Structure 1
């Protein structure tokens, strides 16, 4: 993909302001607002802000004991535009462009605690073996009336009614918010986000939109990150909230971000395809890598306190470490269908994840498995919730400890990123313990 240039701004003269933003460890956009005329210098020279900015807690506060702050003088990183280039921000009133950026050291080395660089390094591991992952994600989210402390489904703009029931695959539920979804799809087209089918889901006011697969894993993560910003921003323009938090309603299913992937070789052949329903040894090896990393990388898939309300048996989210063919109760599902599209569906991540970290953990674990060449346990059959299986951590503190101490995680992420994420989550855990449940929901509703 060519480097971004001023051409986009010249072709869109109504855009007078630009947001230059990078993704922090929590998936939050951090950056600057500037006049469009200042973007030319940013394209050539980049911009600067403290490295600690990519390592803030969920409230946007410094990590108190982070070496990135006082110990090193809160030094700057240099941020350059990603290959994505300018994208419009259709949820704002005035025509505005977003320019995604990522962080480097002063000497030009990638800053490896930048989540996008973590995924880039993973993709380069694949490239070194003559391989290329093909990735698609499914993103679930809630539309919510948060005008009071009592969260509820928004009133339908079409009927004026508030339907207080889950409506799985309901056309009526989609039609109730047709104006929102029409604007959303138009905005996705404008932002080059490949939105595909939308469905209503099992939670109150819950929906899912699939993003079309791509053989550029960085673009897949960019698409997911931008999509989350778009959905939340556009919902506010329509008079309600949208949230990707894992579980806003205690009695209903939570939201996930399922990742589908296959792997191509240099000849464009899917290395998981054996022409039949079972898949190749490479598929089995990748499955085993994902299973071996699942427990210790749970902090990436369930990064927040609220995340663990979702990881409970019988709530449409996996809680046991297992895999299966065509079985949605398993943590990892191998879908049926055309063997040429044989792939793995990793179902553990909540909707509240950082897409760059989540895809790094999934794809990196699969490559570990391909490199190690070990076969997985037999696939399960039946209801995974009824089986005696190794468990994904159901406690935030346990997940933090496992992530910090794991040798498997060290194969997926830089030590700097591991240390920074652990410090961030421990600080958040201390402060979240001081808040009431409603206060916790309030902070997660808009941020994740």
Structure 2
């Protein structure tokens, strides 16, 4: 045996590189990312790596469309009608990385699911994103993508009222918000240092870290990469890293969209530009707004209402959408305007880009990036013109029109020809089935606030 791999067994370059960084690994966690962005897979002995790269790993196809509680969604037709059959998952090239927060030397590996015929399985969010990227490639452009993720930190134990509470070292008396405060970062320096080291060990290009508007709320940005699949991979791995490092410090890291109704929520902003074969930014132009950029904005706005369910995929997601909360309420755009759904940051022409501000941090990064790129493709190929830009507060000038209720968002998604075209008719049906199942389960739960309001009153 050498580094946990049998002597004489041929290993891939990815495995060789991993073993060079992680001597004598004991195990590897191999996983796909399901409809809700949750990692699901298996832990294998490191000696299984050559076999995994050669033959893949079998998982039930239904694994990709489990609901948020991990329950099967029978309405998809992937359970009894198929015998809950396995599909083969193969490693994503270049994704074998160390597991830096583990007490034992180990690794993690992203997988992608194929059909029995060897094609991309339509229920894998990563495959959906790859399909949209390919359509943009046919136009001769490559998307350059970066994500910004907000999250909250909480004590491991809830407060006396059962509600989550920010860690004591992150709170300051008399104020809930210390936006961009540096003392708020220093008080949790040990945790953030571990996150930075873990990102470096995995090759994740973490950039700036800031304290956000609420107690124990932070944002970590990833630098842009000219590979949307890699950008989404990195967002998935960053979320996993933050949560794992927080656990090691006795804390809970949450990407829940709106933990408290009266405090700021957690968003996932996506920055996108397009470069041509000569690496020129096609969003840049001699005029203030190039034709390509204008049509990209038009396509994103025209399809925003029917795809809200991707950006707000849970019941709690819709608590983010409140006037004056830096969360968009309608399909709007503006130059350096954070009240709009699409912000065009002030930048030199070579850095011209769109900041998509609709999604919550609870959304699936693969589906969000696929949705953004699909809207851009739709706008460019259809020469879709946007409405006039919004100057000043969008909340005061444009009536709210994005779906503000989960059932409404699911229905708009389910009847959308745009979704069927870019994400696939099959996935449109599976996604809606999963979200309906989650919604019906939550509708049966009566919250304490309703007992307080109604039980002894009416």
Give the TM interval when normalised to the shorter protein: over 0.9
Deviations 1:313-348 (A, max 9, x none): 112211111101110000000111211101000000
Match of 2:335 in 1: 325
Does residue 1:374 correspond to 2:387, yes or no?
no
Say whether the 8 Å CA contact 2:145–2:272 is kept in structure 1. Answer: yes
- TM-superposed CA distance for 1:153, in Å, is 1.1
- For 2:251 and 2:211, locate their aligned partners in 1 and report how far apart those are by CA, in whole Å: 17
Does residue 1:152 correspond to 2:165, yes or no?
yes
Misfit runs of 4+, over 4 Å = 160-164, 436-439
Say whether the 8 Å CA contact 1:279–1:342 is kept in structure 2. Answer: no
Runs of at least 5 residues in structure 1 that lack an aligned partner in the other structure: 440-448
2:165 match: secondary structure: coil
- TM-superposed CA distance for 1:269, in Å, is 0.9
Match of 2:409 in 1: 399
Deviations 1:12-37 (A, max 9, x none): 22321011100000000010011000
2:196 match: secondary structure: helix
Deviations 1:141-198 (A, max 9, x none): 00112402221110218xx978861210000111111111111111101111100011
1:124 match: secondary structure: helix
Match of 2:149 in 1: 139
Aligned residues: 435
- TM-superposed CA distance for 1:374, in Å, is 2.1
Does residue 1:199 correspond to 2:207, yes or no?
no
1:400 match: secondary structure: helix
Match of 2:301 in 1: 291
- For 1:127 and 1:66, locate their aligned partners in 2 and report how far apart those are by CA, in whole Å: 31
- For 1:318 and 1:114, locate their aligned partners in 2 and report how far apart those are by CA, in whole Å: 28
**Is 371-380 or 388-397 further displaced after alignment?**
388-397
Match of 2:9 in 1: none
- TM-superposed CA distance for 1:3, in Å, is 6.8
Match of 1:47 in 2: 57
Matches within 5 A, 1:118-197: 118-148=128-158, 149-156=162-169, 165-197=176-208
- For 1:152 and 1:20, locate their aligned partners in 2 and report how far apart those are by CA, in whole Å: 33
- For 1:164 and 1:75, locate their aligned partners in 2 and report how far apart those are by CA, in whole Å: 54
Match of 1:65 in 2: 75
Relative to 1, partners in 2 of residues 1:3 and 1:357: Cα closer, same or farther, differing over 3 Å?
A: farther
- TM-superposed CA distance for 1:73, in Å, is 1.3
Relative to 1, partners in 2 of residues 1:88 and 1:162: Cα closer, same or farther, differing over 3 Å?
A: farther
Deviations 1:175-226 (A, max 9, x none): 1111111111111011111000111111221101110000000000000000
2:403 match: secondary structure: coil
Match of 2:3 in 1: none
Say whether the 8 Å CA contact 2:419–2:425 is kept in structure 1. Answer: no
> Quick one: which of 247, 261, 268 aligns to 1:250?
261
- For 1:224 and 1:163, locate their aligned partners in 2 and report how far apart those are by CA, in whole Å: 34
Deviations 1:224-282 (A, max 9, x none): 00000111111010111100110001111101000001001111111110145x22010
Say whether the 8 Å CA contact 2:344–2:353 is kept in structure 1. Answer: yes
Match of 1:337 in 2: 347
Match of 2:371 in 1: 361
Deviations 1:270-296 (A, max 9, x none): 1110145x2201000000000011000
- For 2:390 and 2:435, locate their aligned partners in 1 and report how far apart those are by CA, in whole Å: 33
Match of 2:226 in 1: 215
Match of 1:443 in 2: none
Matches within 5 A, 1:397-436: 397-436=407-446
Q: Could you say what the CA RMSD is over the residues aligned between the two structures, in angstroms? A: 1.7
**Is 252-261 or 383-392 further displaced after alignment?**
383-392
Relative to 1, partners in 2 of residues 1:141 and 1:371: Cα closer, same or farther, differing over 3 Å?
A: same
Relative to 1, partners in 2 of residues 1:437 and 1:236: Cα closer, same or farther, differing over 3 Å?
A: farther
- For 1:172 and 1:423, locate their aligned partners in 2 and report how far apart those are by CA, in whole Å: 46
Match of 1:346 in 2: 356
Runs of at least 5 residues in structure 2 that lack an aligned partner in the other structure: 1-11, 450-458
Match of 1:80 in 2: 90
Does residue 1:273 correspond to 2:268, yes or no?
no
